[in-house]
């Protein structure tokens, strides 16, 4: 099955001046798939800021990952990808191969992978299928990361009915490389030999096309690749060993050889001898060899005198290595099988698909009605929500300390922190907010970028680079496309405000269930930053509780609104407040003034307090001291940005520092040992909620 429309086939015919052969149709389909071409998104993605003084390699055509200078001759390489459709069909292999693919993207830059993040969204666990999906997604991620020896240091796990049938499995990876050793994924001269390592099989056939249409449930298992982390370990180690001897490196991902060869040629031509490709399965058809997405394969552009060196390094491990062709100057991509040319297509045709800007239409907003809910019901319901539960059941299945570089571990803070070879500390975090994006994708785009920035600040880091992943339903549906355009606009605006370049990303459309119902719009931002002064490992202790920033009656898109119905206004991302509040936190960390810091996001103030309550402490809050709105529910549950809670023994210093930075802070209560939450004169024993927080996933997934 191909995803090309009749219009696109007609465009191809006109440009070629003839009918493409069946093999050529599959090659065009792979290159023009939404997954590989970004044909419905590229014109908007160009608005992202991608340059800056630290950027070594940004959003360039056909580069597999972005690179950012971190000083002392080093650069980090950053990338985010997803394996949503494969994980919906075969969650174990779908998730595992997502990890393998992102690792190969990093090593294609000559960089050593040092950390992984996983951001997972599934349907509610009352459904047995969702339990099955989650259990196998976690197992697949752990299987690959643990086996290959790269720590999974952080991530997200949240639940919503819109992700039933179509889970979201995002994986990000960070690598480290000497700046002068970064490898391109494209070539600039003809005559180089194309060297392929690894075996090609029948798994992953048409995967790029599969990812570019909605799930049907019919005969889709063949589009899912099979994971082999032990082969992946060989590929990683040897690729890094021979990187100095090659001119370009390309991972074989979506579209297989068809895409890898064409993108590596970068407007030049290539001649590929399909029958020289090492096969895992006998008697594969040439078109299947060309589009297979079998994992653990890499393509190298190599000078002839270095071919023997490269192949010997792989053959030492009995890993297949073969010269399958060469780069040519005639700007045609040619596939030859048993002496016969079975495909001959202009590079520019393959690299220039039709680009689309689909109609847009804003969604009608649900009626705004303030729910009639008692305080105790609201507090108990929010604190017990699965999104706020401990994720230890998941991250305990990952070896997050392998490599001995993990400094702040999963569950310890809002961001993970790893040590780098130059002695610096790198913080990384991924953030999304589907509920807010379903209300207002523009404000959501700004908000998730700002949240990532705040999450880095709580450990003492300042953001330096970001990548994004934009996940939506069918772009041809006007309301869905409107959300996509608005999210891009919001993310771009925030990136420009914070002067943080977006050095890479991904777009995933057609995320819908089998009934054609789309997921909630889920743009995701992964941000990396450097600890510039002191590192804070947030530690809950007795002390004064201080809230930094203004609280507003902006309840739309909040967890409270999800549980009890929409009311209030959509949170407006006031980026200046996010920046100023983050500067206050950074100042306080470097002064050694605070013991604990957490930004206010999911669940509002109550959600943030759960990080304190779950450690065996009580929190006493005076709502009259919360500055901003007079609405009690908004004071407790609003998720507007620009806010942090901190624990300190010097509350006056915190308030004064905020004032100097041009924002506000107020002492709203205190933290002591115990099991209580006090809000004014109201007091609640939260032992039951804390136990639920600690045990929820373990209990649910033990069935």
Give the residue from 36, 172, 126, 156 showing the smallest Cα distance to 451.
156
- The β-bridge relationship of strands 332-337 and 340-346 is antiparallel
38 assigned ligand-binding residue? yes
Question: Quick one: angle between helices 91-107 and 229-242, nearest 10?
Answer: 10
308 assigned ligand-binding residue? no
Give the residue from 272, 304, 306, 305 showing the smallest Cα distance to 289.
272
225 assigned ligand-binding residue? yes
Element (H, E) at 313: helix 307-315
104 assigned ligand-binding residue? yes
Contacts of 459 (CB under 8 A, 6+ apart): 408, 413, 414, 415, 417, 427, 531, 535, 536, 537, 538, 589
Residue 692: active-site member: no
693 assigned ligand-binding residue? no
79 assigned ligand-binding residue? yes
469 assigned ligand-binding residue? no
Catalytic residue among 35, 469, 692, 693: 35
474 assigned ligand-binding residue? no
Strand partners, 676: 685
Catalytic residue among 83, 385, 692, 693: 83
165 assigned ligand-binding residue? no
Element (H, E) at 548: strand 543-548
Sheet strands side by side (includes 502-508): 406-408, 416-419, 425-432, 522-531, 461-471, 502-508
51 assigned ligand-binding residue? no
702 assigned ligand-binding residue? no
Eight-class DSSP state of 386: G
Reported as half-sphere exposure (CB side, CA atoms, 13 A), residue 684 has a value of 18
DSSP codes joined into one string, 654-696: HHHHHHHTTS-EEEEEEEEESSEEEETTEEEE-HHHHHHHHHH
DSSP codes joined into one string, 439-451: H-HHHHHHHHHHH
Cα 526 from Cα 435, distance rounded (Å): 18
SS3 572: coil
**Angle at 493 (CA atoms; ends 487, 498), nearest 5 degrees:** 125
Strand partners, 196: 299, 322
81 assigned ligand-binding residue? yes
The binding site for ATP comprises: 38, 79, 468, 505
Positions at the binding site for substrate: 82-85, 104, 225, 508
Point out the annotated binding site. 38, 79, 81-85, 104-105, 225, 251, 468, 505, 508
Annotated binding site for Mg(2+): 81, 105, 251
Q: Which residues are catalytic?
A: 35, 83
């Amino acid at each position: 099955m191909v995803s090309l429309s009749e219009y696109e086939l007609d465009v191809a015919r006109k440009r070629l001046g003839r009918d493409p052969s069946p093999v050529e149709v599959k090659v065009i389909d792979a290159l023009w798939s939404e997954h590989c071409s970004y044909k419905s998104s590229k014109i908007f993605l160009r608005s992202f800021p991608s340059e800056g003084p630290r950027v070594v390699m940004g959003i360039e055509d056909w580069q597999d990952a972005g690179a950012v200078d971190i000083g002392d001759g080093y650069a980090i390489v950053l990338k985010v990808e997803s394996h949503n459709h494969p994980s919906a069909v075969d969650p174990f292999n779908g998730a595992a191969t997502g990890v393998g693919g992102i690792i190969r993207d990093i090593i294609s830059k000559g960089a050593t992978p040092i950390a992984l993040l996983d951001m997972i969204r599934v349907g509610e666990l009352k459904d047995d299928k969702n339990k099955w999906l989650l259990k196998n997604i976690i197992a697949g991620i752990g299987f690959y990361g643990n086996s290959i020896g790269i720590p999974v240091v952080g991530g997200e796990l949240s639940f919503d009915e819109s992700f039933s049938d179509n889970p979201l499995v995002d994986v990000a990876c960070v690598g480290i490389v000497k700046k002068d050793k970064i490898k391109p994924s494209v070539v600039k001269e003809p005559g180089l030999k194309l060297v392929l390592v690894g075996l090609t099989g029948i798994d992953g056939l048409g995967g790029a096309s599969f990812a570019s249409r909605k799930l049907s449930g019919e005969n889709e298992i063949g589009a899912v690749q099979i994971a082999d982390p032990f082969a992946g370990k060989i590929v990683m180690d040897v690729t890094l060993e021979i990187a100095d001897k090659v001119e370009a490196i390309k991972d074989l991902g979506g579209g297989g050889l068809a895409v890898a060869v064409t993108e590596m040629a970068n407007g030049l031509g290539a001649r590929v001898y399909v029958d020289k490709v090492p096969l895992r399965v006998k008697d594969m058809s040439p078109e299947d060899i060309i589009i297979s997405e079998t994992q653990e394969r890499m393509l190298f552009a190599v000078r002839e005198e270095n071919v023997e060196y490269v192949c010997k390094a792989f053959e030492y491990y009995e890993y297949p290595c073969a010269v399958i062709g060469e780069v040519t100057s005639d700007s045609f991509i040619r596939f030859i099988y048993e002496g016969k040319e079975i495909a001959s297509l202009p590079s520019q045709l393959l690299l220039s698909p039709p680009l689309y800007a689909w109609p847009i239409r804003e969604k009608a907003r649900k009626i705004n009605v303030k729910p009639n809910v008692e305080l105790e019901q609201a507090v108990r319901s929010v604190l017990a929500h699965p999104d706020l539960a401990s994720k230890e059941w998941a991250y305990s299945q990952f070896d997050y300390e392998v490599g001995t570089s993990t400094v702040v571990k999963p569950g310890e803070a809002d961001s993970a922190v790893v040590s780098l070879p130059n002695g610096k500390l790198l913080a990384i975090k991924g953030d999304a907010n589907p509920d807010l994006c379903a209300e207002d994708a523009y404000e959501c785009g700004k908000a998730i970028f700002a949240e990532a920035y705040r999450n880095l600040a709580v450990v003492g880091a300042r953001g330096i680079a970001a990548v994004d992943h934009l996940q939506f339903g069918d772009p041809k549906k006007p309301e869905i496309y409107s959300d996509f355009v608005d999210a891009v606009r919001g993310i771009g605006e925030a990136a420009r405000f914070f002067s943080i370049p977006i050095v890479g990303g991904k777009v995933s459309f057609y995320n819908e269930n089998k009934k054609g119902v789309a997921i909630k719009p889920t743009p995701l931002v992964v941000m990396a930053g450097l600890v510039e002064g002191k590192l804070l490992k947030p530690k809950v202790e007795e002390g004064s509780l201080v809230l930094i920033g203004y609280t507003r009656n902006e309840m739309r898109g909040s967890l409270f609104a999800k549980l009890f119905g929409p009311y209030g206004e959509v949170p407006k991302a006031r980026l200046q407040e996010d920046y100023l509040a983050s500067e206050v936190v950074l100042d306080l960390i470097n002064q050694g003034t605070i013991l604990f810091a957490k930004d206010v996001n999911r669940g509002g103030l109550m959600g943030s307090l759960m990080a304190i309550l779950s450690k065996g402490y009580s929190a006493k809050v005076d709502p009259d001291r919360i500055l901003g709105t007079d609405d009690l529910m908004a004071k407790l549950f609003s998720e507007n940005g620009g806010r942090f809670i901190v624990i300190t023994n010097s509350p006056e210093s915190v308030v004064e520092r905020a004032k100097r930075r041009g924002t506000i802070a107020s002492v709203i209560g205190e933290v002591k040992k115990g099991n209580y939450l006090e809000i004014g004169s109201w007091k609640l024993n939260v032992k039951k909620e804390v136990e639920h927080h600690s045990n929820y996933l373990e209990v649910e997934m033990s069935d």
